[in-house]
Structure 1
Amino acid sequence: MSEATSPLKVWLERDDGLLRLRLARPKANIVDAAMIGALQAALQAHLGATSLRAVLLDAEGPHFSFGASVEEHLPGQCAEMLKSLHALIRVMLDSPVPIMVAIRGQCLGGGLEVAAAGNLLFATADAKFGQPEIRLGVFAPAASCLLPPRIGQSRAEDLLWSGRSIDGADAHRIGLVDGLFDDPEAAALAWYDEHLAKLSASSLRFAVKAARGDLVEQIKQKLNTVEALYLGDLMASHDAVEGLQAFLEKRPANWENR
């Protein structure tokens, strides 16, 4: 895929110490099969570089991401889509260097799942965060695994079960994001320059592994269980398929509670 047609912009800076990834399909920056594949390919190509100290993921346009492709959630496509998204999440969880994420505007659904797989989130105060999947009759598998250890079980349940969105101020209050800035990209770069740029890249990798090893294994194990629940049980239910179809057809869902 050429750079002109790729949904992702990829480059290195800071003497090859910082990998830059930019979602480049504004304004929605949908996390579809092409975006997932591009992100995974870029990470796998660069995470092994011995000079790398961090990754910064951000997005073109006014919004980070509206989420995953609803069409790809329908039966016949959802298994491949979900497995590829979760493979990307696992690559991010296993990153040997910190992943910073700079967020503006909407950060919803699969977009928030990708962001939450990062380590340090920088956002604007008016950014919007949410997992609206339940309103379509499904649930957010990766977020069900990523949010509880990040913001606590009860706060994660609130977002996952209600489907509501919160702004950057609330996201900061509950620990979903690490700081609020007018320019989150610039803030992330400043954090890198102040705290990581002069470190040994080798020692930093050991520090990341020491801090995250057990947590990452727990999340990955739960992800396997939740993926099976989604594909084996949820997608066999009437309401899950009805909710997705109703969204695509722009009509109210006819819930049969089965």
Structure 2
Amino acid sequence: METPLKAWLEKDGALLRLRLSRPKANLVDAAMIAALHAALGQYRRHVMLRGVLVDAEGPHFSFGASVEEHLPAQCATMLASLHALLLEMLEFPVPVMVAVQGQCLGGGLELALACGRIFAAPNAQFGQPEIKLGVFAPAASALLPYRVNQPDAEDLLLTGRSIAADEALRMGLVQQLAEDPAAAAVGWFDQHLVGRSAAALACATVAARGVMQRQVRERLAELERLYLEWLMRTHDANEGLAAFLEKRQPAWTHQ
């Protein structure tokens, strides 16, 4: 089976490129999570590394996680593996950038939120649509308040609406718009990071993110319990997921 991820080094080993390569959806499913985890583990100790750039093939960055893996039989495993990956990205010892085009939704946006600077194409769309399925987004609930203000985080989490790249820029979710966001990210890396000491950059990254890392780790554990022990015992969570897979409107009981 072809790997869902391409990984390689550039800039004489200074930049790790990770490319989601299962267009058009680039689902953040079990296979993608495992591939990203393996690549990060392989290159984590690379002595010359000064940055990571995550991007994607095809017209869209990612449609999000697999809805099938959200069903009761699999959701505990899915959440644990996704959250372990996001923590690994948050705690990676060099800056992680992400370049987004097209749709960046659900688990795809959670993946981007665990990175540092987000570079986006003008056509990019960002959203956490989980609430429309009768569930919520644990990782985004922990990460969004670090990226935007609390009311804007609640807007995205509670409405499920998608926002365009220009609104995401004004909100502070995106740091730069560019027709070629990957090239813009590489340009930013060349200007600001490639000339730095890898050892100093690793220490500075840990120093800058330390409090956030600890708080997000604690919040994810709390949110997993909320998701598994409360939400997934409701009728509406199971009804919403089933309705999506059956391509019909959900019948909410509000319980």
Give the aligned partner of residue 210 of structure 1.
207
Written as runs of structure 1 = structure 2, the 5 A alignment for 1:113-192 is 113-192=110-189
Give the aligned partner of residue 23 of structure 2.
26
Give the aligned partner of residue 249 of structure 2.
252
The residue matched to 1:49 in structure 2 has which SS? coil
Written as runs of structure 1 = structure 2, the 5 A alignment for 1:227-242 is 227-242=224-239
Q: Structure 1: 5+ residue runs without aligned partners?
A: none
Give the aligned partner of residue 93 of structure 1.
90
User: CA offset at residue 42 of structure 1?
Assistant: 0.5
The residue matched to 1:11 in structure 2 has which SS? strand
Supply the distance in 2 between the matched residues of 1:149 and 1:86 (Cα, whole angstroms). 16
Q: Is the 8 A contact 1:168 1:180 kept in 2?
A: yes
Aligned positions, number? 255
Length-normalised TM-score, structure 1: 0.98
User: CA offset at residue 84 of structure 1?
Assistant: 0.4
Which AA in structure 2 matches 1:156? A
Supply the distance in 2 between the matched residues of 1:227 and 1:44 (Cα, whole angstroms). 24
User: CA offset at residue 96 of structure 1?
Assistant: 0.7
User: CA offset at residue 47 of structure 1?
Assistant: 1.4
Q: Structure 2: 5+ residue runs without aligned partners?
A: none
The residue matched to 2:6 in structure 1 has which SS? strand
1:182-234 CA deviation, whole Å, 9 max, x = no partner? Answer: 00000001111111111100001111111111111111111110011001110
Q: Is the 8 A contact 1:126 1:169 kept in 2?
A: no
Superposition CA RMSD, Å: 0.7
Which AA in structure 2 matches 1:140? A
Supply the distance in 2 between the matched residues of 1:254 and 1:234 (Cα, whole angstroms). 16
Q: Is the 8 A contact 1:86 1:142 kept in 2?
A: yes
User: CA offset at residue 9 of structure 1?
Assistant: 0.3
In the alignment, structure 1 residue 79 sits paired with structure 2 residue 76: yes
Supply the distance in 2 between the matched residues of 1:54 and 1:24 (Cα, whole angstroms). 20
Which AA in structure 1 matches 2:216? I
Length-normalised TM-score, structure 2: 0.99
1:113-161 CA deviation, whole Å, 9 max, x = no partner? Answer: 0011000100012200000000000000000000011101110000000
Supply the distance in 2 between the matched residues of 1:72 and 1:210 (Cα, whole angstroms). 35
Moved over 2 A (4+): none
